[in-house]
Amino acid sequence: MEKQAAGFGIRFAADMVDTLILTIPISTVFFLIGGEYPFNWMVGWTWPIIYTIYLTLIPLVWSGYIIGKRIFKIKVKRMDEEGLTLKTMILREVVGKFLLSNVTVGISTLISIFLIIFREDKRAIHDLIAGTYVSREDT
């Protein structure tokens, strides 16, 4: 069976859906606690840490999916087709996305966009580090 990798557009759309789905309930909790919608929790380290934890743990319990990826029928898979592990997801999300992006001041994110667009296998830097790819599920 040939691997059918998901491209940039569908991956970007899934990320946008996840951002909306996560920020609305979190903002609502802050509203219930503080009486106003403080969006300053999204500035600084709070949001990136919450989102990185979400991206790292949810695919482990949901077979490679997060909410946005499930909606768009794409999922994270290992190149060897084995199940995802905590080590794989830490390499992918914590090292390959979060840490590398912060160390390179976002340059690695820009490079990853170009890799997804132009590489035949659609793998970004974090996919290469972790040995993963994002698969379309319509095969």
Is the model more confident about 29 or about 43? 29
83 CB-contact burial (10 Å; exposed 0-12 / middle 13-18 / buried 19+): exposed
Is the model more confident about 72 or about 31? 72
Residue 1 predicted with pLDDT over 60: no
* Structure confidence at residue 56 as a pLDDT band (50, 70, 90): very high
What mean pLDDT do residues 97-116 have? 96
What mean pLDDT do residues 36-51 have? 76
Q: Are 5 and 74 in contact (CB under 8 A)?
A: no
What mean pLDDT do residues 110-138 have? 96
**In the prediction, which pLDDT does 38 show?**
64
* H-helix or E-strand spanning residue 31: helix 8-34
**In the prediction, which pLDDT does 100 show?**
97
